[in-house]
Amino acid sequence: MEDFPSLDDAVGAQEQMRIREEREQKVFAPGVDEEEAADCKCECCPPRSTQEQTDYCCRSLFSLPLLKKGQLLRDGLIGCMKEFEGHSCITKHPHFTEYILTESATKAAAHMFSMMSGEEVPDTNKSRRYGAYRLFIASSIGHLGKGIRIRLPSCFVRAVRDRWPSPNYTGFASSELTDI
């Protein structure tokens, strides 16, 4: 019979996973000031006092050094939006206003997730928000993989929350998957 790791070993492994996960979710290169990334240049982000520390403006993706996931997100946005000029914010672009931020698209995304995961998705604003987040990733980066997450621009999150409000929001959450 195999020996189980000690509690200290398990706690250490869990902390290493948390650190790796935190590092993998970063969008901007080391040395980029989080306040500079969060500074709203698109005029659509929520007030900084209501944001989390690592929230960022969509315009920062186009002006600051990025890590791999940030580059994938920026390049995907450029590809699906074709012409970004003329729009102060990604949420003003027709790709978002006519495709992602629509009732029918988010409802379809929620039902697709329900079919694939086997989880029942109630017909609520929460399922619409999650559908919009999934559409954002699917249309800009593609499938990330189970448990792989990336923080979305705060202006996009705000637009989604304005469209499908709730008294309580979960906010960005790390994956619940563990590979101990």
More confident residue, 31 or 169: 31
Reading the block at residue 108, the tokens are 């379809």
Q: What is the pLDDT of residue 83?
A: 59
pLDDT one-digit tens code per residue, 99-128: 889 999 998 888 888 888 888 877 688 888
Per DSSP, 123 falls in state: S
For residue 8, give every residue at least 6 positions away whose Cβ sits within 8 Å of its Cβ, in sequence order, or none: none
String of DSSP letters for 34-100: HHHHHS-SSS-SPPGGGS-TT---GGGGGTS-B-HHHHHHHHHHHHHHS--TT-SSGGGSHIIIIII
pLDDT digits (tens, 9 = 90+) for 48-105: 888 888 889 999 999 999 988 888 888 988 887 765 566 788 899 888 888 889 999 9
Q: How far apart are CA 3 and CA 5, in angstroms?
A: 6
* pTM as predicted: 0.78
